[in-house]
Structure 1
Amino acid sequence: MKTHHPTARTVATHALSALALSTGLLTSAQAAPDDEPAIQSYAIDYEAKLLTDRRTNGLSDTFLRPGAEFTVNAAHESGLIGYLQVGSVARANFPESKLWTAVAAAGYRWGNPQGWHYGLGLAHEMFPGAQVKDAPRNPFVDFNDTMRTRFDTSFAVIELGYGIVEARYLHVLSKDFRGNNTAVVCGSRFAPEFEAYLNLQADPSEAIACYGDSVKHSRGSQLLSIDTRYPIAPQTKLVAHVGYTQVKNFKQVTTYDYKLGVAHTRWGLDFELDAVAAGMRDRSYAVTYDVYGHTKRIDRTALVASLAKRF
């Protein structure tokens, strides 16, 4: 999560993709005497951005296609902070979605922005309409026993930073992390071959091991990221990120991700070019299908360019 005000850094993931701001979070300064300027007690920053590929935790949310997002960061002098981001997603990644997601967060931040600083908060990621319907719980037991899964996810967030270096830890509170459960994870990997497995025309041992003897969910998943934006010129910064996503009960989709790039501000616009890479423990689970049967690996290394306007 990016911000351009030292006291307005958010407590949510990029990823991770945070809650809509309540007006109670922001209070206006009391009227000052006529001969003294009013001191604003809060800051609100807005950013609109276009990207050649919109990624969360190194994985493409837009099926390796261009995307867009709009972000609001807010901070009150008391230490209360809020965050809201609306961004585009693809139905290949999030079936039946309305093609957008919203991440919102609220929390509290304290410490010295130029030294050690800390944050605590709660975040929620929403995918309106997105769901996987009628996915078998275990097709080797009963193909007609299905379940429905949504992608909405809630997090507890802890921040620790020193100067321009930010570390963020997220713990998944909701039943599933972005829809990761037995029906979805195993179904995405083995569904195209179910008939062959069921007819013993292919070795079913890996698929049977994935489904196990009961439905598993991913509450308790953990995400860790470290980010920095290091000034190398008056209007230019080096961007670096490393992240780790551990999905509870599904070690095969544990992912490391990295980003290295450069950001430059000119004509009131922010230009950025990043090399983004992700490594899933079993990369066959990163293969995503669209409704036309086209497949893409959403963890593929790529150069991602973006253009942003702050106001």
Structure 2
Amino acid sequence: MRANITHSLMAALLLSGATPALALADEMASYAVDVTARVSSDIRTRGVSDSLNGPGAKVSIQVAHESGLVALAEFTTVSKKQFLNGDGVGVLLAGGYRFGDPEAWHFGLGLASEMFPDAQFKAPHRFDAQAFTLTDERTTNYNSQFAVLEVGYGALEGRIARVLSKTYRGADTGGVCGTLLQFRADPTKGLECYDKGDRNSRGSMLYDLDYKYALGMNTNLKLHAGYQQIVNFSEANFADYGVGLAHRWAGFDWGLDWVTTTTRTKELYLAEDDGHARATDDDRWVFSISRQF
């Protein structure tokens, strides 16, 4: 797959949950630093795998100031077969401001940048109908920048993100139309896509709604619904859903989630793996273990 047109708003992690109470050992301290390490049976973003359905790891570092300012750095393993020519790492850097009552209405504003070092692909961006030839081969990376708004009430969290960068995870004419040609036996849809001209995905919108319910015994029920609306490429739009349990035991957080998607164009969520096309949007159980330091 030339472009991994997924999934994502890892930037939503910037504003996850209500403003935390700062656990301060020193009353004079005005900020808290949380480091979380997580291993998962699959790295899923918006219901779609970033690790080619295999296991992966994530390290998050969050700094929260009592004023409401927050900064986040996150490092995640990803598949080099999906994020082509890259180092196999995803990096998220984000910053923002949160305010309001954690038990009632609360809000957040932020900016985030998601990067995949050295990951890029080359693909034609135009189709010459007279010569019946693909032309204008260019390089596209998978990096994205976002503006994020969060509105929550108690345990209910809603997030909206707008893509500020030229593309969202490589979603441009070369990525989307090229992928359709690559994985569809019938080239008609791919050529029709190219016939619409050279386009990008700036302005795309990502929506998420999350709810947590305490079941007792250090266990929470998690519910999620999301939707991505990709500008100029409606074939890449999809919804994702999830339900899971999180349980704290022996100093670790144990999670089990069922994730599912309703993608419109399955070919955009295929990845080439040693000559075989593998779906990355299948329904799946995801098991995870994490620890906060």
| 1:265-309: CA deviation from partner (whole Å, max 9, x where unpaired) | 00000100000101111223222213x212111110000000001
Pairwise CA distance, 1:234: 3.1
Q: Does 1:261 align with 2:244?
A: yes
Partner of 2:20: none
| 1:129-168: CA deviation from partner (whole Å, max 9, x where unpaired) | 10002x1113454434201101110000001011111111
Q: Does 1:117 align with 2:106?
A: yes
State whether residues 89 and 100 of structure 1, in contact with CA within 8 Å, keep that contact through their aligned partners in structure 2: yes
Partner of 2:42: 53
Q: Does 1:73 align with 2:75?
A: no
Partner of 2:140: 149
Match for residue 288 of structure 1 among 264, 271, 285: 271
Task: Give the structure-2-normalised TM-score.
Answer: 0.88
State whether residues 127 and 134 of structure 2, in contact with CA within 8 Å, keep that contact through their aligned partners in structure 1: yes
Pairwise CA distance, 1:213: 4.0
CA gap of 1:203–1:49, structure 2 versus 1, over 3 A, is closer
- Pick which of 233-242 and 263-272 moved more: 233-242
Query: 1 CA distance for matches of 2:9 and 2:281?
Result: 18
Pairwise CA distance, 1:123: 0.5
| 1:211-267: CA deviation from partner (whole Å, max 9, x where unpaired) | 124211000000000112211013100011111011111111101001101011000
Return 5+ residue gaps in structure 2 as ranges: 1-7, 15-23
Letter in 2 for 1:210: C
Query: 1 CA distance for matches of 2:248 and 2:13?
Result: 24
Return 5+ residue gaps in structure 1 as ranges: 1-11, 19-28, 30-36, 194-201
| 1:65-96: CA deviation from partner (whole Å, max 9, x where unpaired) | 10100011221111111111100110121101
Partner of 1:137: 125
Match for residue 190 of structure 1 among 181, 204, 207: 181
Partner of 1:177: 168
Pairwise CA distance, 1:205: 3.2
CA gap of 1:203–1:256, structure 2 versus 1, over 3 A, is closer
Query: 2 CA distance for matches of 1:93 and 1:203?
Result: 23
Letter in 2 for 1:138: R
Partner of 2:31: 42
Match for residue 191 of structure 2 among 208, 215, 231: 208
CA gap of 1:192–1:227, structure 2 versus 1, over 3 A, is closer
Letter in 2 for 1:215: D
Query: 2 CA distance for matches of 1:192 and 1:120?
Result: 39
Match for residue 251 of structure 1 among 218, 234, 255: 234
Query: 2 CA distance for matches of 1:44 and 1:130?
Result: 30
Query: 2 CA distance for matches of 1:124 and 1:182?
Result: 22
Greater gyration radius: 1
Query: 2 CA distance for matches of 1:221 and 1:245?
Result: 8
| Structure 1 counterpart SS, 2:174 | helix
Pairwise CA distance, 1:116: 0.4
Query: 2 CA distance for matches of 1:192 and 1:76?
Result: 48
Query: 1 CA distance for matches of 2:105 and 2:139?
Result: 44
Over the residues paired in the alignment, what is the CA RMSD in angstroms? Answer: 1.9
Q: Does 1:240 align with 2:223?
A: yes
Letter in 1 for 2:278: K
Partner of 2:81: 92
State whether residues 60 and 72 of structure 2, in contact with CA within 8 Å, keep that contact through their aligned partners in structure 1: yes
Calculate percent identity across the aligned residue pairs. Answer: 38
CA gap of 1:77–1:16, structure 2 versus 1, over 3 A, is closer
- Pick which of 297-306 and 76-85 moved more: 76-85
State whether residues 40 and 287 of structure 2, in contact with CA within 8 Å, keep that contact through their aligned partners in structure 1: yes
Q: Does 1:164 align with 2:155?
A: yes
Letter in 1 for 2:172: N
